[in-house]
Amino acid sequence: MTQFVFDPTKVMDIDFTKRTEYLEGLEAIKAAHKVLKEITFTPSLPDKGYNNRSLYVNVGTLEVKEKPVTQQMKDVFIGGRGFGLWHLWNAVKPTTRWNDPENEIIISPGPVAGITQYAGTGKSLVVSLSPQTDIPIDSNVGGYFGPLLKFSGFDALEIQGKSECDVIVFIDGQKGIIRIEEAPQDPVDSHVLAEVLTHMYAENQADMVNISVVCTGAAAEHSLVGMLNFSWWDLRRGCIRLKQAGRGGIGTVFRNKKIRAIVCRGPQVKGDLNHVADFETIAKTGIKYHKEIRTNDPYQCMMRRNGTAHIVEIMDAYDLLPTHNFQYGSHPDTHKIDSAYWQSRCTQKTVDGCWYGCSMACAKGADGLVVKTGPYKGHTVTVDGPEYENAAGLGSNCGVFDPDYLLELNFYCDTYGICTITYGTLCAFVMECYQRGILNKERTGGLDMTWGNAEDDLEMMHQMARGEGFGVIAGQGVKKMKELFIKNGWGDPQLINDIGMENKGLEYSQYLSKESLAQQGGYALTNKGPQHDEAWLIFMDMVNKQLPTFEAKAEALYYFPLFRTWFGLNGFCKLPWNDVVPSNNAQQPEAHKIPEHVQNYVDIFSATTGIKIDKDELIHQSAKVYNFQRVFNIRMGKGLRKDDHAPFRSLGPVTSEEYLSRQERYDKQIAEEMKLDPTAMTLEEKMAAHRSWRQGRYEQLTDAVYKRRGWTPNGVPTLERLKELGLDVFPEVVDVVKLHL
């Protein structure tokens, strides 16, 4: 192990309080606001984690009303992503598409969200019909909005309709007021807008921490890959910070509804606003965990110093860091963007974290970045991160190893409202198409998309924000770019399909899955598309060899997606589960599940809600929502086996360069796994053998996974499975399934 030791002398001396301010036109912006609708409500605090009501706002009709959260909703859907999916199911029809008025954006934090005694409890789950996939997307996000919404009196916020003018929805949980305001002069980009609105709606300096803004940026208006920023006020820095609900284009839906921002002003956060059933157990569990972080984190992942970027060099060492559009898994220049660099570049003399009480505190701020390009050229800004996904996606996967440019790409993604994971993968695809002559300067409108050309990479992003040029094409995402390039006859269709890293229309996140069959399934045998938050099995499968059979892989692809779904039902962050472990973890049975932490979650849920569960019931809770989401996908015309197809780049080597770069490995597999003689085969024959073998294994895995999940060979949950889960009480759910049995 080559754990970097924190050396304070290596941290750059950057003034973390200095940055460009955007408050000059605040009064004029405020004066231009016009109230379109105002209602009053009675603020309330949750009882045992629930308020038992949600808030419905239609920005088209201006209808605002409270809706009850029923016992059935709580029993079946728990909260968070579950509530989002249930509201969305009831709002849309099978024919509804992302830009129809009936599509909704639902934000729900979950019953545990907002407790301040345990790490990682500030998450909101955002659900909508995705413009990229045409099925429900769920995206989890930190920042204060979800907990403040809940402490204002609502377990979920449903936004429906389409406005004719730019609007802001303001929820004042202190005064009990909800307003829809026309906002004709508000800034567009998130780092400016969130700052302006935080100052506008806070009544004084001390009130700033009670404000959270949900907003996006200019690129969300011209692309399908828009994301949502959730803000919080960083008291020590004296500025707003942003966390992102990135995946699936929810920011695009947001702007299509002409929403400029949603602002919540909650009450001052205190220790037990959830009014939990058993505070003592939560406090005791939290103290035990905080002590574990303090003692073990400096010797384990150093999350408090590095955040998730601690794995950049680790992924490189295991040949898993996506490089040049997932062609390779490592690069000689990775040291320029590894955790040692980010540790020195991110401010270390202030405490970070995106919700109160999170001792893991992995949110990091890179202060003092002077922007070199675009509309904010010359401005001094604070950038959140970069997290691992950003360093890998915007960095190595596009061949960008200049950390200042990487930070600038991260900054513009955030403020323009672009998902960093999606942008990294779509830009890497563009660059490989450029490398292989599928694209050229004529087709890109003059952009030189050579690997590592950060200036033209940034220009493509600026075009996306301006709604101009090739940036508009790139902003449609990999799936639609593939269709366009093939339609235009710009290259071999099979090659274009092989190297375009999307499944269901969503771009892959930033791990190389070629040598882990289980992770290939962890990406493509998913509900929303290839995001690693369902399952990350690469080490178990590829390195530890703990999953030697299809059945063992299928069991992992049963358990972990359900276990991780549960975080999103409750408002938990996944990171405190497994980015630190107890000192005695190695001696525990099923150590890879971190059993002590699983028990912590069981205890905290029980202590919050008063509903006693165990680790098996935890999985059962998730299984209801997971299978409901699968049926929802089928209802929307997808969710079948054909939709779980994976691009070949995720399964194995597409090109001769890829094969030759790891020839020893691939030849060995031909000899040992396929029982063929590689010395008697041409390169083309060897590549064809790999394609056949790898695709065959993926199909066998799919069979095993569907069987373990209680699905038909076409990926449809059986009626027996629905009955086991209690989903047969919903006739519409049963009707959807019956059509496919």
Partner 1 sequence: MIQVNGDGMEWQDGLTVRGVLVYRNFRFPLLIITVNGELIQPKAYDTTLVPDEAEVQVIHLMSGG
Q: Which is nearer to partner 1, 586 or 680 (CB)?
A: 586
SS3 category, 45: coil
The window from 89-97, 210-218, 314-322, 366-374 that contacts partner 1 (CB under 8 A) reads 314-322
SS3 category, 642: helix
Which stretches of 403-489 are assigned E, i.e. beta strand? none
Residues 453-512 within binding reach of partner 1 (CB under 8 A): 509, 511
Q: Identify the residue among 54, 274, 285, 585 touching partner 1 (CB under 8 A).
A: 585
Q: Contact at 8 Å (CB) between 45 and 151?
A: yes
Q: Identify the residue among 389, 414, 432, 603 touching partner 1 (CB under 8 A).
A: 389
Q: Which is nearer to partner 1, 565 or 627 (CB)?
A: 565
Residues 432-461 within binding reach of partner 1 (CB under 8 A): none
Distance in Å, CB of 592 to partner 1, minimum:
6
The window from 182-190, 306-314, 354-362, 395-403 that contacts partner 1 (CB under 8 A) reads 306-314
Residues whose CB is less than 8 angstroms from the CB of residue 663 and which lie 6 or more positions away in sequence, other chains included:
none
Span between the terminal Cα atoms of the chain, in Å: 51
Q: Identify the residue among 240, 449, 506, 594 touching partner 1 (CB under 8 A).
A: 594
Q: Identify the residue among 20, 174, 281, 300 touching partner 1 (CB under 8 A).
A: 300
The whole-angstrom separation of Cα 652 and Cα 498 is: 10
Q: Which is nearer to partner 1, 39 or 314 (CB)?
A: 314
Q: Is 444 exposed, middle or buried (0-12, 13-18, 19+ CB in 10 A)?
A: buried
Q: Identify the residue among 74, 257, 258, 574 touching partner 1 (CB under 8 A).
A: 574
The window from 341-349, 448-456, 538-546, 702-710 that contacts partner 1 (CB under 8 A) reads 538-546
- Asked if 587 is part of the footprint of partner 1 (rule: CB under 8 A), the reply reads yes
- Six token digits for residue 675: 């029982």
Size of the site for partner 1 (CB under 8 A): 37
Number of Cβ within a 10 Å radius of residue 1: 5
Distance in Å, CB of 217 to partner 1, minimum:
23
- Asked if 546 is part of the footprint of partner 1 (rule: CB under 8 A), the reply reads yes
Starting at the earlier edge strand, list the strands of the sheet with 177-182.
34-40, 177-182, 167-172, 259-265, 211-215, 228-234, 239-245
Q: Identify the residue among 277, 591, 640, 734 touching partner 1 (CB under 8 A).
A: 591
Dihedral sign from CA coordinates of 161, 165, 171, 177: negative
Q: Which is nearer to partner 1, 298 or 710 (CB)?
A: 298
Instruction: DSSP letter for 5, please.
Output: P
- Asked if 581 is part of the footprint of partner 1 (rule: CB under 8 A), the reply reads yes
- Asked if 314 is part of the footprint of partner 1 (rule: CB under 8 A), the reply reads yes
- Asked if 537 is part of the footprint of partner 1 (rule: CB under 8 A), the reply reads yes
- Asked if 96 is part of the footprint of partner 1 (rule: CB under 8 A), the reply reads no
Starting at the earlier edge strand, list the strands of the sheet with 136-141.
64-68, 53-58, 157-160, 105-108, 124-129, 136-141
The whole-angstrom separation of Cα 65 and Cα 67 is: 7
Q: Identify the residue among 44, 344, 578, 712 touching partner 1 (CB under 8 A).
A: 578
The whole-angstrom separation of Cα 89 and Cα 127 is: 11
Q: Identify the residue among 171, 196, 200, 301 touching partner 1 (CB under 8 A).
A: 301
Residues 318-337 within binding reach of partner 1 (CB under 8 A): 318
Q: Strand 105-108 to strand 124-129: parallel, antiparallel, or no bridges (unpaired)? A: antiparallel
The full length of the chain comes to 741
SS3 category, 545: coil
The window from 183-191, 477-485, 578-586, 731-739 that contacts partner 1 (CB under 8 A) reads 578-586
Q: Which is nearer to partner 1, 49 or 529 (CB)?
A: 529
SS3 category, 203: coil
Residues whose CB is less than 8 angstroms from the CB of residue 650 and which lie 6 or more positions away in sequence, other chains included:
326, 501, 503, 508, 513, 514, 520, 523, 524, 530
- Asked if 545 is part of the footprint of partner 1 (rule: CB under 8 A), the reply reads yes
The whole-angstrom separation of Cα 268 and Cα 621 is: 32
Residues whose CB is less than 8 angstroms from the CB of residue 28 and which lie 6 or more positions away in sequence, other chains included:
185
Number of Cβ within a 10 Å radius of residue 623: 23
The window from 356-364, 528-536, 596-604, 672-680 that contacts partner 1 (CB under 8 A) reads 528-536
Distance in Å, CB of 461 to partner 1, minimum:
23
Q: Identify the residue among 50, 326, 388, 550 touching partner 1 (CB under 8 A).
A: 388
Instruction: DSSP letter for 683, please.
Output: H
Q: Identify the residue among 485, 536, 550, 626 touching partner 1 (CB under 8 A).
A: 536
Distance in Å, CB of 463 to partner 1, minimum:
29
- Asked if 540 is part of the footprint of partner 1 (rule: CB under 8 A), the reply reads yes
Distance in Å, CB of 660 to partner 1, minimum:
21
- Asked if 1 is part of the footprint of partner 1 (rule: CB under 8 A), the reply reads yes
- For 572-717, where are the alpha helices, taking DSSP H only? 575-578, 595-609, 615-635, 648-651, 656-661, 663-672, 683-709
Q: Identify the residue among 5, 351, 543, 660 touching partner 1 (CB under 8 A).
A: 543
- Asked if 308 is part of the footprint of partner 1 (rule: CB under 8 A), the reply reads yes
Q: Identify the residue among 64, 149, 239, 538 touching partner 1 (CB under 8 A).
A: 538
CA 322 to chain centroid, in Å, comes to 18
Q: Contact at 8 Å (CB) between 395 and 401?
A: yes
Distance in Å, CB of 159 to partner 1, minimum:
27
Q: Which is nearer to partner 1, 225 or 573 (CB)?
A: 573
Residues 113-152 within binding reach of partner 1 (CB under 8 A): none
The whole-angstrom separation of Cα 377 and Cα 370 is: 8
Q: Which is nearer to partner 1, 268 or 299 (CB)?
A: 299
The whole-angstrom separation of Cα 562 and Cα 560 is: 5
Distance in Å, CB of 699 to partner 1, minimum:
25
Q: Which is nearer to partner 1, 9 or 587 (CB)?
A: 587
Q: Identify the residue among 172, 498, 507, 533 touching partner 1 (CB under 8 A).
A: 533
The whole-angstrom separation of Cα 530 and Cα 487 is: 25
The window from 101-109, 488-496, 532-540, 613-621 that contacts partner 1 (CB under 8 A) reads 532-540
Residues at the contact surface with partner 1, assessed by CB under 8 A? 1-3, 299-301, 308, 311, 313-314, 317-318, 388-389, 509, 511, 532-533, 536-540, 543-546, 574, 578-579, 581, 585-587, 591-592, 594
